[in-house]
Amino acid sequence: MTDDTDTTIADPHADSRERPRDRIMLGDHVVTVEIGAFQAERGTTQRIRFNVVVEICDAPGAADDDVDGVMSYDTITEAINAELGARRFDLLETLAENVAGRILADPMAARVHIRIEKLDRGPFTLGVEIVRDAAERRAPATPIPSPTVAYLSDAALALDDLDTLLDRLAPPDAALVICVGPAPLALGVTPAPSVRQRIDLLAIEQQAWLLAGRDARLDVVTTRTEVEWSLHNARTIIWSPIRLVLDNAGQADPPPDDPVALSEWFARHYGARALFLIGARLPSQTGVPTHSISPDNWRRDVLTDRHSDRTGG
């Protein structure tokens, strides 16, 4: 723990009249990650430093020198690693909040003080500090309902009765998530791979908005929050993948130039009950029940046993 830390970290009981609790600490823990909301922070890594103090309930194993009766330091580092491994963060505030929640899930944790600082943004440090109590533990998150996912090829998008197809695909008790491929683009130059990725993803978003313009029922969603709210509320939506893919921070990224793979990735990520590929071939492997349907015969094939399907590992 550095000497220049302020009162909150150095003396977390400064404003408390209760008997000071025992504490365990993680000091000056530096990791290199991709994080940040600015475009200059995307596609590159920077160092961030964690200082964490956890106030603990009485540790019954301390007097007996019993490691099983005390809170492990690994609880802190594992909480940090789990959050950094789960997704890419724009905000240090969100990262701190999530790490605090994981630590406070340990029944021995009474209060946690977390400071996170960016070390490479200038000749200074930038950071946040939060304090959370066990009494503020968030209720367990409600499980996200499994949606039905449908990928629409260009041939499917050209159907005159597309609205009827979507009505048939939408389950009565769950969300329908529509995925599309890119709108046609003309490029005069060959961009760098990172630029090409963003162009491909923006082309898909453009196609999503074109489809939304044809049907007032359809909303284009991009953020994780929007997606999960829509799933909880059994909405029919069109998924624009740009935010979720870029926030995935290189963890088994789906290729943005393969919209079918993107659709399968989304379906697998959200545990879809089914993935329908309208006008596209089945991939070699999928993680959810997948059905390939011809746009010419969708009335015959949708929700019948006559289409081909595959579920892989």
- pLDDT, residue 280, reads 92
Half-sphere exposure of 268 (CA within 13 A, CB side): 15
Task: Judge whether 187 and 202 are in contact, CB under 8 Å.
Answer: no
User: What's the average model confidence in pLDDT over 212-241?
Assistant: 90
Domains of the chain with bracketed CATH: 7-136 (3.30.1130.10), 148-310 (3.40.1160.10)
pLDDT, tens digit, for every residue of 157-210? 999 999 999 999 998 899 999 999 998 876 666 777 777 888 888 999 999 999
Q: Which residues contact 243 (CB under 8 A, 6 or more apart)?
A: 222, 223, 224
Higher local confidence (pLDDT), 186 or 266: 266
Decide the pairing of beta strands 290-293 and 308-310.
antiparallel
Q: Please, what is the average pLDDT of the chain?
A: 82
CA distance 41 to 102: 26
Give 313's pLDDT tier (boundaries 50, 70, 90): very low
pTM above 0.75, yes or no: no
**77 token code pair:** 């580092």
Burial code (b: 16+ CB inside 10 Å, e: under 16) for 285-312 equals: ebbbebbbbebeebeebbeeeebebeee
Strand partners, 152: 180, 278
Three-state DSSP class for 208? helix
| Mean pLDDT computed over 208-227 | 89
Q: In this model, does residue 294 exceed pLDDT 50?
A: yes
Three-state DSSP at 232 gives helix
Q: Average pLDDT in the 64-78 region?
A: 75
pLDDT tens by residue, 183-192: 887 666 677 7
Cβ atoms of residues 166 and 236 within 8 Å: yes
Taking alpha carbons only, the member of 293, 295, 298, 287 closest to residue 308 is 293
Name the residue with higher pLDDT: 256 or 299: 299
pLDDT band at 307 (very low <50, low <70, confident <90, very high): very low
What local confidence, expressed as pLDDT, does residue 286 receive? Answer: 81
Buried b (16+ CB within 10 A) or exposed e, 20-36: ebebbebeeeebeebbb
Write the CA distances from 133 to 78, 104, 116, 202, integer angstroms.
Answer: 19, 8, 18, 42
Q: Are 84 and 114 in contact (CB under 8 A)?
A: no
- Picking from 47, 33, 52, 34, the residue whose alpha carbon sits closest to that of residue 122 is 47
- The pairing of strands 126-133 and 109-118 is antiparallel
* Contact between residue 144 and residue 231 where contact means Cβ atoms under 8 Å apart: yes
Question: Where is mean pLDDT largest: 160-169, 256-265, 280-289?
Answer: 160-169
